[in-house]
Structures are given as C-alpha cells and as structure tokens.
Amino acid sequence: MLEVRDLHVYYGAVHALKGVSLEVPQGGIVTLVGANGAGKSTLLKAIAGLLPARQGSIRLEGQEISSRGAEGIVAKGLCLVPEGRQVFGTLKVIDNLNLGAFLLRGGKHQAKRQELLDYVYDLFPILEERQNQYAGTLSGGQQQMLAIGRALMANPRILVLDEPSMGLAPLVVREILKVLGALNQKGLTILLVEQNARAALKVASYGYVLETGGMAAQGEAKALLSDQNILKAYLGG
Amino acid sequence: MEQYTLATQLVQYLIAGLTIGSIYAMVAIGFNIIYNVTEIINFAQGEFVMLGGLIMATLCHWLGVPFFLVLPLAMLAVTGIGVMLDRLAIRPVRQPTVMTLIMATIAASILLKGAAMLLWGKDPYDVAAFSGRVPIMFLGASIQPQNLWVMGILGVVVAVLTHFFGNTIVGKAMIACADNPSAARLVGINVRRMVLLSFALSAGIGALAGIVITPLSLMDYDRGAMLAVKGFGALILGGLGSFPGAVLGGLLLGGIESFGAGLVSSAYKDVFALVFLLLVLFIKPSGLLRSGAVAKMKRF
Ligand SMILES: Nc1ncnc2c1ncn2[C@@H]1O[C@H](COP(=O)(O)OP(=O)(O)OP(=O)(O)O)[C@@H](O)[C@H]1O
Ligand SMILES: [Mg+2]
C-alpha cells in the first residue's frame, strides 16, 4: 500500500533522514517508534507532502507521490493526523469535521459527507455532543479525537498518525488505540508513530524502530516486544 | 430657530461621517481579509479603491453604457489587478517572511500609483451618481442619494462576507488557512489558492468602495495612500483581524473626522482622528473589539 525507499530529508543543512525505508501492507497496522528527535515526525511529514524529499521514493499503491504536495496526497487517500493535534481552534467542531471533507465539497458528495460524519460521530460520540463548541475549548483527548475524526472525513484508505497519545491520560490513550484497532478491523490501513512503544507494539502487527535518522530495527511487533536487547537499547527498557 | 439649525447641522455631519466612515470600513475589511489569511498588511489596499474609481470613470466615459453594467466590469478589472498583485509581487518572493511580503505590497502600491498617474494624469475624475443628485431632506438635513448608496453598499458587503465566512466551506477554509496553514494543507486545502482568493476579494471590495465614493468626492491617482492610512487606522481602532471591529472602527473614525471638521475646524480633521486613535491604543492596545490574548497569538 505504502512503500518508502531510501528516503533522505534535510532541514537546510541538517540531514534529518538518512536513507529510510519502510513498508505498510494493505489492511495492515504498522508502528514506527523511536526516541525524541529520531526523525519520526520528519518521516511522516515527508510522506504527507509537507516536507520535500531530497532523494528516494514514496509510493502509494505503486504510484510515486513524493512530488505531489500535501493537497494532492490527501486526494490520493493518505491522511496525516499531525503531531500535537493541530485542530482549527478558532472554528467549531463541526466546521473542523466539514473541512476534513474539503475535497468532497459540493452537492454531489453530500450523501457521502453525511455518511462519513455519521461514522465519525459513531466512533466519537463526544464530538457530536460538542459539535457547536470551538475546537480550541476542547480537552486534549477530545482534540485528538477531533483530529482523527477530521482526517477520517477525507475518507482515507491509509491513516497516518503522529503520536496520538502525546500528553493524554492513560485511559484516553487506551480508548484512542482501541478505536484505531477497530478502524483497522474495518479495513483501514494504519501507520502509527508512537513514543509509547509498548502500547503501540501491542496494537500493531509490524514495527520499525527509528534512531537518529535511520532504521535501527524492524520486525513483527510481538518479536520486537519480546526482544530484550531492542527494548533496552531503543525503547527505554 | 437656533436650536433647529444646530440639530440639522449635527445630522448633516453624522451623515457625512457615516458615509466616509463606510469607505474606511470597507478599506479596513479589505485589509482584514488578506491579514487573516496571510498576516500580511497589504499596503496597496488604498490603491484598489483609487483604481476602482478611476477605472469606473473611464469605462462610463468610453462605453457610455448603463451604469450597473459597468460596475461589475470595473470591479472585475480591479480584482484582476489584485490577482496579479499576488501572482507577481507576493508569490515570487523567495524567502517569504511577513516583513518582506509587506515590503512587496508597498512597492506594488507605489507602482500602481505611478501607473495611474501616467494613465489618468493628475486631474480628478467624476462618475455619475447612482441615482441622481437630487437631495433628500431628512430631519431638516439634505442628503445626497449617493450617501445612502455608500452606507447601503457597506451593509451589503458585510452581509455577503458574514455569509461567506460563516456558512460556506470555502469561507471556512480561508479561516482554516489563517488558523493553521499546514493543517489546512493536510485536509486538502490549497493554501496558495486561498491567498489568491483573499487578494481577489479585497481588491473587489476596495474597488467597490472607490466606485461608490467617487460621485461624492471625485477620484484621482493620489488618493490611495491616505485612504489606506485611514482604513488602517480604522482597523487598528477596531482590532486587527476583527470584522465587526473594522466596521465599528471605520464608522467611528469617519464620525470623528466629520464632527471635528464641522464643529471645530476642517483643517484639523485628520488630527482629531489620529488623536482619538492614539488614545484608544493607549487605553486598549489590542483595539476596541479584540481581546489581548488573541492579539498576542498573532505574530504582529
Ligand atoms: N524545522 C526544523 N528545522 C531544523 N531541524 C529540525 C526541524 N524540525 C526537526 N528538526 C530536527 O530533525 C530531527 C528529527 O526531528 P523530528 O521532529 O522528526 O523527531 P521526532 O522523532 O518526531 O521527535 P519527537 O518524538 O520529539 O516528536 C531532530 O534532530 C530535530 O532537531
Ligand atoms: Mg515528532
């Protein structure tokens, strides 16, 4: 579904990603873990088209997307839920969700939009309750749900999430991971970046470990979880 | 009868103030639309007003067709100039920071003013009033129908923009670009296109202001800068980024100018407006209708 090959990304002169490769199979749920500053967000931003790739390829269902720009990549069915949620705080919850379906605007998609909205409200009933509230007034957990809901409104085939558990209470984290599991069950392909490696490896089937701009390890999630060396070296025990 | 005369005069000043205030408000709204999407203060905003008036005058003169057919044409022409401003002056800037982009708009305003002087010369131009120049008597004051047109058009602009930003998905997308451009891109909004749209919209509104005020106060190549200063004053007065603030600030500034000119001396009308502006900024630096917290969030 998604295939990254030998990707190099720079911030000016800073070489942030030094030849990273990664693969997410159709219908899979893959996680990417790694310490602070390893380059996880950089990789996701490059995949989503927010950062240019200096070298290497990013393919979505066989098609090269690395020069399409963020808007074009959403249209291709890949949505990023960015680090730190980044909801539109000055707009209402319902507006945030409607904007998620920006590419499906216009009368001919009306039914589809309604279907997606019902689906999102079904997943996160709190969003329906708060639909007329400004997004900036929501709690962190609710904002994260909104950020995921907004991405789902674009009807993606692959959802990419950057640390959805950041700064949230364990109970909320569990709820969000549960929803991701359910979405995956329904056929959505997921790439999940987490610092909370244990939690992420528990929901994922395959995992990658990123360290200072390069892949340090990869394997079945279960194998990574039980590999004492990897746990010690990269995942904080 | 002394009382009666004073009251009449006050009504007259009020009408004059609300009229010019409506123009300031429209200029301020134009500033706001671009500022809200890009954080740029477009110093060519006054030039849009000037061009609206002059292009309208020329089109009326050349084509001699009914007024309301020419009006959209003149607006369209200025909107086109707004689009060009974005394409030629804003987008090509290599390292776009808010400051360099503002400089680009200043350069563009000088260029537009120079071009207008070459094309139209230094003489002021007139445009036929929308519905004649027979005054209407109101509370003893005589009002030009055009005064009502000016205020009415401000009302229409406010209504249309309220609908646009409040109820349409493209309007919300523009707000989203201002709120968080990279998140906007992640939902598929083409931010550059929204910036272009913001320039087009403000140019159109500026043109409309110029078209509707020309029958009352004529128009020449040199009027843009002063209109921009007043509109900017209105904007600061009401609170940068706030649309109700722009309207309130514009009308207040227009009113103060008009009463000051009428009751004290017309030589000092700009002074009254500026002193009032300074006082407000001294007491409430974020403007009348804007909270300090919001003002701090913006990078200005
Ligand atoms: N805008 C930027 N300019 C320059 N360097 C940057 C920029 N953003 C990130 N970096 C650097 O790139 C490297 C990777 O950063 P990145 O944000 O991708 O890490 P991360 O794995 O997402 O970390 P975290 O877990 O803290 O989110 C870091 O060394 C960081 O300092
Ligand atoms: Mg990160």
Is B195's pLDDT higher than 60?
A: yes
Domains and CATH numbers, chain B: 2-283 (1.10.3470)
Q: Which residue has the higher pLDDT, B288 or A98?
A: A98
Contact (CB<8Å) B187/A50: no
Q: Cα(B153)–Cα(B155) distance, rounded to whole angstroms?
A: 5
**Arithmetic mean of pLDDT, A94-113:** 95
The CB of A72 under 6 Å from ligand 1? The reply is no
Identify the pLDDT of residue B4: 60
Identify the pLDDT of residue A236: 63
Distance from the Cα of B97 to chain A's closest Cα (Å) equals 17
Instruction: State which CATH number among 3.30.420.40, 3.30.930.10, 3.40.50.300, 3.30.1380.20 fits the domain covering A1-77+156-179+188-237.
Output: 3.40.50.300
Identify the pLDDT of residue B242: 86
Q: Which residue has the higher pLDDT, A163 or B286?
A: A163
Identify the pLDDT of residue B300: 30
Pick the range with the lowest mean pLDDT from A64-68, B112-116, B160-164, B246-250.
A64-68
Identify the pLDDT of residue A197: 83
Chain A residues within 8 A (CB-CB) of chain B? 48-50, 69-71, 74-75, 79-80, 82, 86-91, 95, 98-100, 102-103, 105, 150-151, 153-154
Q: Specify whether the CB–CB gap between B126 and B214 falls below 8 A.
A: yes
Spacing, Cα A185 to ligand 2 middle (Å) = 26
What one-character-per-residue DSSP string does A33-58 give?
A: E--TTSSHHHHHHHHHTSS--SEEEE
- For residue A124, what is the enclosing H or E element? none
Per-residue confidence band for B69, with pLDDT thresholds at 50, 70 and 90: confident
Q: Specify whether the CB–CB gap between B187 and A104 falls below 8 A.
A: no
Closest residue to atom 29 of ligand 1, CA basis: A37
Instruction: Give residue-wise pLDDT tens across range B2-27.
Output: 456 888 889 999 999 999 999 999 99
Give the dihedral of Cα atoms A143, A148, A152, A158; nearest 10 deg: 160
Contact (CB<8Å) A88/B183: yes
Pick the range with the lowest mean pLDDT from A20-29, A203-212, B61-70, B234-243.
B61-70
Q: Which residues of B touch A99 (CB under 8 A)?
A: 169, 172-173, 176, 184, 187, 189
Q: Which residues of A touch B182 (CB under 8 A)?
A: 50, 70, 82, 86
**Arithmetic mean of pLDDT, B197-207:** 95
- What percent of chain A clears pLDDT 70, i.e. is strictly above it? 98
Q: Cα(A33)–Cα(B246) distance, rounded to whole angstroms?
A: 49
Per-residue confidence band for B107, with pLDDT thresholds at 50, 70 and 90: very high
The b/e string for A93-116 (b: 16+ C-beta within 10 A; e otherwise) is: bbbbbbbbbbbbbeeeeeeebeeb
Spacing, Cα A39 to ligand 1 middle (Å) = 5
Half-sphere exposure of B10 (CA within 13 A, CB side): 6
- Going from the C-alpha of B80 to that of each of A25, B44, B85, B87, B203, the distances in angstroms are 48, 14, 9, 10, 8
Mean pLDDT, chain B, integer? 88
Candidates B174, B179, B186: best to mutate against A (most CBs of A within 10 A) is B186
Distance from the Cα of A170 to chain B's closest Cα (Å) equals 26
Residue of B nearest to A160 (CA): B186
Say how many C-beta atoms besides its own lie within 10 A of residue B171's C-beta: 18
Is B44's pLDDT higher than 60?
A: yes
3-state helix, strand, coil in chain A (%, to 5): 45, 25, 30
Atom of ligand 1 lying closest to residue A34 CA:
21
Spacing, Cα A41 to ligand 2 middle (Å) = 4
Instruction: Give residue-wise pLDDT tens across range A200-219.
Output: 888 899 999 999 999 988 98
Per-residue confidence band for B112, with pLDDT thresholds at 50, 70 and 90: very high
Identify the pLDDT of residue B65: 66
Identify the pLDDT of residue B241: 84
Identify the pLDDT of residue A230: 75
The beta strand positions in B97-160, using DSSP E, are: 136-138, 141-143
Instruction: Give residue-wise pLDDT tens across range A105-127.
Output: 988 999 999 999 999 999 999 99
φ, ψ at A169 (rounded to 5°): -70, 145
Mean pLDDT, chain A, integer? 92
Identify the pLDDT of residue B290: 66
Distance from the Cα of A173 to chain B's closest Cα (Å) equals 22
Per-residue confidence band for B293, with pLDDT thresholds at 50, 70 and 90: very low
The full 3-state SS of A216-233, as one line of letters, equals: EEEEEHHHHHHCHHHHHH
Pick the range with the lowest mean pLDDT from A129-138, A226-235, B102-111.
A226-235
Identify the pLDDT of residue B133: 85
Structure tokens at B226: 């002063």
- Residue spans of the domains in chain A: they are 1-77+156-179+188-237, 87-155
Is B50's pLDDT higher than 90?
A: yes
Candidates B187, B192, B193, B195: best to mutate against A (most CBs of A within 10 A) is B187
- Going from the C-alpha of A45 to that of each of A73, B44, B256, the distances in angstroms are 11, 35, 52
Q: How far is CA B187 from the centre of its chain?
A: 32
Pick the range with the lowest mean pLDDT from A227-231, B77-81, B121-125, B241-245.
A227-231
Is B294's pLDDT higher than 70?
A: no
Contact (CB<8Å) B180/A79: no
Query: Position B114: which residue type?
Result: G
Q: How far is CA A16 from the centre of its chain?
A: 19
Picking from B173, B179, B186, the nearest residue to A48 by CB comes out as: B186
Q: Specify whether the CB–CB gap between A121 and A129 falls below 8 A.
A: no
Say how many C-beta atoms besides its own lie within 10 A of residue A138's C-beta: 21
Per-residue confidence band for B291, with pLDDT thresholds at 50, 70 and 90: low
pTM of the model: 0.88
